[in-house]
Structure 1
Amino acid sequence: MQKKILVTDGIAEDARKILEDKYIVDLKKGLSPDELRKEIKNYNAIIIRSATRLTSDIIDSAENLVVIGRAGVGVDNVDVKTATKKGVVVVNAPGSNSVSVAEHAIGLMFALARKIPEADYSTKAGKWEKSRFKGIEIEGKILGIVGFGKIGYLVAKKG
């Protein structure tokens, strides 16, 4: 019998297509905890993001569940202790969004240096205060990075 995967928070289209080559994949977003508790019984695996919480009672009701896949870094929304006790493997994707987070951090730094949020607000209010929002140039500045994990490293490399 073909294995079934429940996806509750959406995943990339390419990833879904790869899974569909070997498994039955059902996308069901926005399930309430009660709906999820009833639905999860029919699946061998579940892929979640941060919007879905897998509590002990939901995991306990998952009779056929073998693996919980967290499309993202943390597993704070999964009762790992209960899953482990039931023999359900919990996996995540550490570093999967490191590039996005590093680029976002760099983008925010540029926006703040050039006072883009303030200028946007002022312009939307019908004002034109060009000289007030010059900001500072980044050229020649030194950036101090606190912490040098994957994201800090990428900020240093890209910045």
Structure 2
Amino acid sequence: MPVQSSSRTVLADWLREHSSTLTTLDPKQPLDDLEVLREIVGNARVAAVGEGAHFVEEFSRARQRVLRFLAERCGFTVFAMEFGFSEAFLLDRWLLCEGDDGDLAKVSRAAAEWGAADLIHWLRPPQPPQRTPPRASPASTFPRPVGRYDLGTRHESGR
């Protein structure tokens, strides 16, 4: 009589066959190990990237690598994230290069402390964008367009 596999064994086998190992969590390292995501993303114009828990540095670093991959290799140009209403306005202005690059903690303590500082700094271009998106309402604050010139400049500067 054949032995039936338990649901745990079936799941473990499926995960082994369909998983890929990340070579690093360092957001500044090459993204080649994330190429397996290209098939999943396909021609999508929207991708949601979540996390299992807030304030976990490893999740934040992995998310930053995935967002870099989506922007640099899949052509995504808009990034939206959850922030408080009033804080989003201040952060948006900072992302548009108003204020000093080192002022993130003054502008958004939450962004600086919950593991997103590297990601937020990566989103800020090294110089002010040549165009400013309209800011008629909070809905136009996030998501905000990220021009190709921004992404190329960030990539070249190692941000």
| TM-score interval for Structure 1 and Structure 2 normalised by the shorter chain | under 0.3
Which of the two has higher C-alpha Rg? 1
TM-score by length of 1: 0.22
TM-score by length of 2: 0.22
The structure with more strand, counted as a fraction of residues? 1
